[in-house]
């Protein structure tokens, strides 16, 4: 499907057709990811890292109504109690299980009603650029939550969701992909370019930064590579852990990734939703937190890439006339065309990760593979604003989390393709290992 970015700027009708399709698709995915769950599961156990799903599907609907209808369109609330039920900035996390939430049927009716009203606004054909911005914001917010619904099911050990109409994915096979690529130094514009049709405030704006030459792995760290760290007692060796990381490891008695276990015969298994499967040697390790990634790097004599290095490896090109970076910046590792199935493992196509050697068509100019899709990749950096940062209307999106979260890049197998580009920044606290995160490494200084 084309994107509004690819649709001609002077063709608002085409752009709005794409936008309407996005609205329908996002709401369909949200409904599908919870439709097989019982009423009991829709609340689920109270945990710090997840929300009750009955509340969360109402929240994404409220967010769409607030920004696309009430804020942009000046319309009245569809439910008089919606702010008191679904405003995540005002309702403490732990109280969300105790709210008098609407029933499943009433919540689904609210979801359909808001979606249909947004579609009516699009189909009326008089949208402003501000209208399009807030409708797109609501779609992307819903996409992020639908990915969160997917890892909520993993967290609880429930079955994998079933989605309709998925594009077929590429083969999960592809083997390993070892070695580093050498990246030249020079100047690079870190952040989003002004010609993007939609960006979040934490991506703004591209600014010139000096880059020192570095070497980065062609692929993410695999399960078999991480297994060696586990079997060499890396979790028990204090010298590989930072003070904060060791404190976390001690507090949870971690000895391996959260969803791994070892059978009596010595074989390692990984829990994939409600199924235990043998480790897939050449697929990326996932569900590891930032401290686990840091400890692995220390054990391996490697380091995590900075955000700058990650983006250079994904988006940069080398100059033909010198051994420096060129002024070119790609939207995606493979170029400027939106992701297709051969480029990246996204949008639930494979319903899991694929081998790190798969999808050569998605390589960056320097030969890094799967920098978009498969697993989110931790970077070395704290999540922080770029120079000249200005908060967007959705004030709670970025600013409250600067300095307390770590930055991730690239997207994962359940991430919607329309959400991503090389400049897109994700962020979680360093203890989070429930999300679909892995990492790749850089050569450490000698």
- Hey, how many other C-beta atoms are within 10 angstroms of the C-beta on 396? 11
Say whether pLDDT at 170 is over 80: no
CATH number at residue 77: 1.20.120.450
Per residue in 251-291, pLDDT (tens digit) is: 999 999 999 999 999 999 999 999 999 999 999 999 999 99
Question: Which of these three, 108, 135, 156, is where a domain ends?
Answer: 156
Q: Is the bond preceding residue 168 a cis peptide, omega within 30 degrees?
A: no
Find, among 404, 417, 409, 416, the residue nearest to 437 by Cα: 409
CA atoms in the 13 A half-sphere facing the CB of 155: 22
The percent of residues above 70 in pLDDT, for the chain, comes to 97
In the block, which residue shows the tokens 């002004």? Answer: 194
Same domain, 174 and 152: no
Q: What is the pLDDT of residue 445?
A: 86
Which residues of 280-385 form beta strands (DSSP E)?
302-303, 376-382
Same domain, 106 and 193: no
The verdict on residue 66 lying in a domain is yes
The verdict on residue 270 lying in a domain is no
Average pLDDT, integer, range 80-86:
97
Same domain, 114 and 177: no
Per residue in 383-429, pLDDT (tens digit) is: 999 999 999 999 999 999 999 999 999 999 999 999 999 999 999 99
308 is in which domain, residue-wise?
168-254+283-446
Which residues of 11-140 form beta strands (DSSP E)?
none
The verdict on residue 419 lying in a domain is yes
Question: Which of these three, 156, 186, 205, is where a domain ends?
Answer: 156
CA angle 155–156–159, rounded 5-degree value = 100
The confidence band for 9, taking pLDDT boundaries of 50, 70 and 90, is low
The verdict on residue 344 lying in a domain is yes
Question: Which of these three, 124, 156, 188, is where a domain ends?
Answer: 156
CATH number at residue 216: 3.90.1580.10
Same domain, 137 and 181: no
Same domain, 201 and 88: no
Same domain, 98 and 179: no
The verdict on residue 274 lying in a domain is no
The verdict on residue 187 lying in a domain is yes
Same domain, 179 and 141: no
Same domain, 322 and 212: yes
Gap between the Cα atoms of 322 and 313, Å rounded: 17
Say whether pLDDT at 5 is over 60: no
Same domain, 70 and 190: no
Q: What is the pLDDT of residue 10?
A: 58
* Separation of CA 180 from chain center: 24
Q: What is the pLDDT of residue 8?
A: 45
Contacts of 150 (CB under 8 A, 6+ apart): 33, 161, 348, 414, 436
Same domain, 400 and 362: yes
Q: What is the pLDDT of residue 278?
A: 97
Same domain, 144 and 179: no
Same domain, 193 and 106: no
Q: What does pLDDT average to over the chain? A: 95
Say whether pLDDT at 208 is over 60: yes
Total of domains in the chain: 2
């Amino acid at each position: 499907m084309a994107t509004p970015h690819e649709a001609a700027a002077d063709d608002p009708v085409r752009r709005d057709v794409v936008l309407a399709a996005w609205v329908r698709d996002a709401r369909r995915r949200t409904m599908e990811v919870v439709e097989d769950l019982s009423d009991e599961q829709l609340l689920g156990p109270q945990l710090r890292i997840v929300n009750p799903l009955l509340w969360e599907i109402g929240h994404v609907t409220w967010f769409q109504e607030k920004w696309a209808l009430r804020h942009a369109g000046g319309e009245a609330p569809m439910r008089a109690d919606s702010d008191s039920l679904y405003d995540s900035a005002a309702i403490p996390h732990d109280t969300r299980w105790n709210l008098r939430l609407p029933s499943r049927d009433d919540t689904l009716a609210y979801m359909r009603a808001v979606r249909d009203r947004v579609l009516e606004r699009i189909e009326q054909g008089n949208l402003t650029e501000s209208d399009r911005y807030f409708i797109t914001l609501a779609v992307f917010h819903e996409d992020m939550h639908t990915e969160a619904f997917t890892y909520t099911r993993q967290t609880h050990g429930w079955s994998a969701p079933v989605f309709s109409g998925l594009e077929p994915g590429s083969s999960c096979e592809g083997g390993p992909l070892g070695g580093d690529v050498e990246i030249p130094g020079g100047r690079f514009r870190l952040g989003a370019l002004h010609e993007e049709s939609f960006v979040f405030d934490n991506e703004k704006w591209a600014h010139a930064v000096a880059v020192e030459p570095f070497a980065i792995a062609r692929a993410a760290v695999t399960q078999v590579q991480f297994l060696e760290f586990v079997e060499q007692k890396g979790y028990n060796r204090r010298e590989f852990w930072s003070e904060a990381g060791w404190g976390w490891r001690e507090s949870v008695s971690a000895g391996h990734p959260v969803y791994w276990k070892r059978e009596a015969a010595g074989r390692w298994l990984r829990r994939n939703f409600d199924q235990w499967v043998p480790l897939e040697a050449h697929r990326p390790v996932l569900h590891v937190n930032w401290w686990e990634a840091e400890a692995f790097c220390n054990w391996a004599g490697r380091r995590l890439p900075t955000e700058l290095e990650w983006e250079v490896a994904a988006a940069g090109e080398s100059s033909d006339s010198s051994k420096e970076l060129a002024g070119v910046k790609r939207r995606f590792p493979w170029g400027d065309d939106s992701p297709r199935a051969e480029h990246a493992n996204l949008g639930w196509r494979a319903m899991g990760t694929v081998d790190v050697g798969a999808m050569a068509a998605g390589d960056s100019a320097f030969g890094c593979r799967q920098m978009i899709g498969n697993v989110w990749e931790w970077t070395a950096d704290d999540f922080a604003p770029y120079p000249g940062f200005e908060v967007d209307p959705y004030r709670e999106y970025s600013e409250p989390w600067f300095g307390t979260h770590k930055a991730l890049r690239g997207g994962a197998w359940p991430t919607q393709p329309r959400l991503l580009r090389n400049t897109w920044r994700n962020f979680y606290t360093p203890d989070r290992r429930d999300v679909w995160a892995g990492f790749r490494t850089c050569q450490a200084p000698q």
